[in-house]
Every structure is written in C-alpha cells, then in structure tokens.
Structure 1
C-alpha cells in the first residue's frame, strides 16, 4: 500500500482528503504543521506528500524533505488556492513535482491519484 501524507493546517481539508484518498487505496497520514510533517517523515517517508501553500513553513518543509535520505524519491504536490504563477514557481524551486488547486474535491483527487494508487 502506498503511503501519502497530507500536510495542511485545516482539519476539514485533511479529513476530506484522507477519506477520499483512503478509498483509493492509500495509507494516509496527516500533519497539521510543517514540524509535525518533518517528524512523521523522519519516522517513515511517504511515497506522496501534499503540502498546502498556506501552511506556515511550507517551502522549508519541501526543502527539508528533499534533503532527507531518499527524499528525492517522494512525489510532492504543492497545493495552491489559485493558479498563482509566483507561488507555483516558488514551490517548484523548493522541490515540488506537481500542483493541486484548492479547494480539491473527489473528482480532482480521483483523477490525479487513482492511477498512482494502482501503480503500486
């Protein structure tokens, strides 16, 4: 089973994301702060990481994960509220692989992650 972490300060976003992604076959771990995400990643790296751009320390979190042993193997999705090119480029420079637009819903998460869940 593929591990996926959602790092987002919103309980609702994490809960909804976890429910949808668990149904797709992911083992979902949550973190409500960048510090908690780093701690959890130090214990066990996920295969995928969704980082909310609004999370305090989001860019530093991405850089920290990338610097970890095997951190370059994680596929990181940077979650932005709108297609803000400046914010997206900052995420890309920090090491994000892909982007998700918020608010996401079942259709968006299923279209992005269903093939990734089956790839394991």
Structure 2
C-alpha cells in the first residue's frame, strides 16, 4: 500500500524516471585523460582540455542553474570535472555564465561516448569523437 501511494504521489508531482534501460549506453569508468579532446554531436562541439577547462560551441544539453532544466543550445567556456557515479564516470560542466550540465561516459560500438538525457522528452543525447 505504501509503494502505491508513493507512486501516485510521484506521478502527481510530475516526476518521471524511465525504465527503458536498453536505450541507454553501457556505462564505463575512465580516467580524465581519456576524455580530453574534441567531441561532437547534435550540430555542436565540446572540447575538454587537460587541467579541467572546456570550450563548447552550439552544445545542446539540458542545463541547470541558468534555466529550470531546459534543453538549450549554448556556446561558451567553463570548467569540467569527473566523479565516479554508480555505473559510469560522470562529467560535470560548469559554464562561466552559471549554467551547468551533466554527461555520463558510455560505450557504443566499442567506442567511448558521452551522453545525457533530455528528461522532458526522455531522449538520449549522444556526443562522440
């Protein structure tokens, strides 16, 4: 009974968590130096520099801090850092304008990729080398 009430509460609150795990890339753990370089996807690019800085050009991600989690296309600079998530390395991007976004490291076709999710549409956003 308690679980049912919680599910009803979450549904009423507008919370959503996808259970379609097959569509998400397999998570992997990597060292920071494996991430340094140019990544692209969705018409934009992300350049991760050694030392923890980045440059983005027309990078379309779900951003927080400057919006309420909207999918935005942004160009700018900032800092990045990694953390060990439960199933993959996580990359936090913090732009100089106060926006932040999270990417996860995954594997697709034996290639390392960066990915995120637009939680409004539940669509996977993929960024490759």
User: TM-score if structure 2 supplies the norm length?
Assistant: 0.25
Q: Which has the higher contact order (CA 8 A, sep 6+)?
A: 1
User: TM-score if structure 1 supplies the norm length?
Assistant: 0.26
Question: Greater helix percent: which structure?
Answer: 1
